[in-house]
Chain A
């Protein structure tokens, strides 16, 4: 692995008695797209704020671009692009002015900013909305403008905290496409998400976090290989009969996961398992065979769903 751009060792953040981040280790390589996957409250945003040099760690070591954020906050921040969980665009300024003014915060020369702003508006597919008020933009447009704004200083690392939360499916796909282009151009992306499809689409490598700790690390495919089976059979018997059916299903598939409303059968061949269930004289109301996803990995690791 080349010299990492982010190195965290035993990174810890406590707020009073509450431990938000509990001694995590990770490295991010230049050009890599790295994800933190976990449910709300797992400590993802807190980790992002420490990496963004706007939150001081309680313990452990952290290096961003070879610098310690405790001593070099402004130097680090000048080379980061930050897309926060909640849009904090300047509502009193128009679309293009948002980029121009933000560029000035980095002390960049006016002509450089103007040139970059036009290119970024093009990239964010907002070139026809330059004079619009921020309030008049759709949720997806606001997110794209926030991303464009985060790129005005040509950051070496782009931090994205829940980049598509709250967007409709179409807006999410447009955003993913833009982020994928950045990745292709070699921008280092660090993102948090609680959407497994987002993690699978965008991340080269990710850590699964829960309650401030790292549960597993790897590429999406490797994680699925390691912690889940190739296929999953989902069967529903109705909530009354669910527990009873689960008893009788013991021994079927590699592993069973009993959820309140359905039973997941992990197996290399879902259809074959369904046949065995039918042979037992059980007739599920609905059944579905699908590929394993990061959701299954998370369920295996924590016993809980990502989105509750």
Chain B
């Protein structure tokens, strides 16, 4: 049987991969249009959360604390110690919110991805598009918070500028892994588990005090979790204390991103193209 090429349009002439149509842009544009018309208030609230933490704990509580020693031995004001950690946390929260609640709803209730995958889009287009939107949100939070940090004089070195790409890396990691985990979830209750894990990670990942207060085994546990790497990376950059460990932090996130994308793509294919 011959392919009916005479009447078909251009797309048929090149064979496309079942995974990727090179059309992530369409998914991103859809996301921007949807955000513009419905939920920009949610986006806005995510920006203020770390700002409130900074004002209450950094400025208020910090007056009692004075200065703190970073992991590289540098003495910095308490607000300058926690501000980069809050920046990393806001990146994490934005990415996780997007990749769990939002993605879960689109997967199971609005059937958005199901609709997308009946077109010529592939699962990788969808995964990359959604992760990019989470990145964009993370970037907006980060820029806003960096401006606040600058106003309070909490960026102690020019390397603070590099915190911006660092925050994007953190967002990318959490969004990618978060989406992979969400794609395996069946109920909203399971997403609560994610929130349940995130809270202690936020509180104990050397966010509000140096990791040296813990006994060694606990330190290892903290260092195995992703947020600690993000906090240390951003803190090193905003306080200007660069070290070789930063490459490890970056590597940790690169692995996290790769794992997340592979699992998300395979899972979307298994769910909708089986």
Q: Which of chain B's residues has its CB closest to A77's CB?
A: B120
**CA of A213 to CA of B211, assembled, Å:** 66
Q: Is the CB of A66 within 8 A of B26?
A: no
**CA of A247 to CA of B2, assembled, Å:** 59
Selected contact of A93 from candidates B2, B8, B33, CB within 8 Å: B33
Known: A90-B112, A107-B26. A72 touches B119 (CB 8 A): no
Q: Which of chain B's residues has its CB closest to A15's CB?
A: B274
B interface secondary structure, majority: loop
Known: A3-B1, A66-B3. A101 touches B12 (CB 8 A): no
B138 interface residue per 8 A CB criterion: no
Q: Is the CB of B15 within 8 A of A101?
A: no
Residue of A3, A7, A74 with most partner-chain B CB within 10 A:
A74
Residues of B within 8 A of A107 (CB): 11, 21, 23, 26, 120
Q: Can you list, as one digit per residue, whether each of B101-116 has a CB less than 8 Å from chain A (1) or not (0)?
A: 0000000001110111
Q: Say how far B125's CB is from chain A's closest CB, in angstroms.
A: 9
Known: A65-B4, A78-B12, A107-B11. A92 touches B34 (CB 8 A): yes
**CA of A65 to CA of B9, assembled, Å:** 13
> Which residues of A (88-134) have their CB < 8 Å from a CB of B?
88-94, 97, 101-102, 104-107
Q: Is the CB of A75 within 8 A of B12?
A: yes
> Which residues of B (18-59) have their CB < 8 Å from a CB of A?
18, 21, 23, 25-27, 29-30, 33-34, 37-39
Residues of A within 8 A of B12 (CB): 75, 78-79
Q: Is the CB of B4 within 8 A of A77?
A: no
Q: Which of chain A's residues has its CB closest to B3's CB?
A: A66
Residues of A within 8 A of B94 (CB): none
B16 interface residue per 8 A CB criterion: yes
Q: Is the CB of B115 within 8 A of A90?
A: yes
Q: Which of chain B's residues has its CB closest to A86's CB?
A: B111
Q: Is the CB of B1 within 8 A of A79?
A: no
Q: Is the CB of A92 within 8 A of B37?
A: yes
Residues of B within 8 A of A72 (CB): 15
Q: How many residues of B contact A (CB 8 A)?
A: 40
Residues of A within 8 A of B120 (CB): 74-75, 77-78, 105-107
7 CB contacts below 8 A, A to B, read A54-B272, A63-B1, A75-B11, A93-B33, A107-B11, A107-B26, A156-B8
Residues of A within 8 A of B (CB): 3, 5, 7, 52, 54-56, 63, 65-67, 72-75, 77-80, 82, 84, 86, 88-94, 97, 101-102, 104-107, 153-154, 156
What 5 pairs across the A-B complex have the smallest Cβ distances?
Answer: A88-B111, A92-B34, A104-B26, A105-B119, A78-B120
A54-B272, A54-B273, A74-B120 are known; give 18 further A-B pairs, CB within 8 A: A55-B274, A56-B274, A63-B1, A75-B15, A75-B16, A75-B120, A77-B119, A82-B118, A84-B111, A84-B115, A90-B110, A92-B110, A97-B37, A102-B115, A102-B119, A105-B121, A106-B119, A107-B26
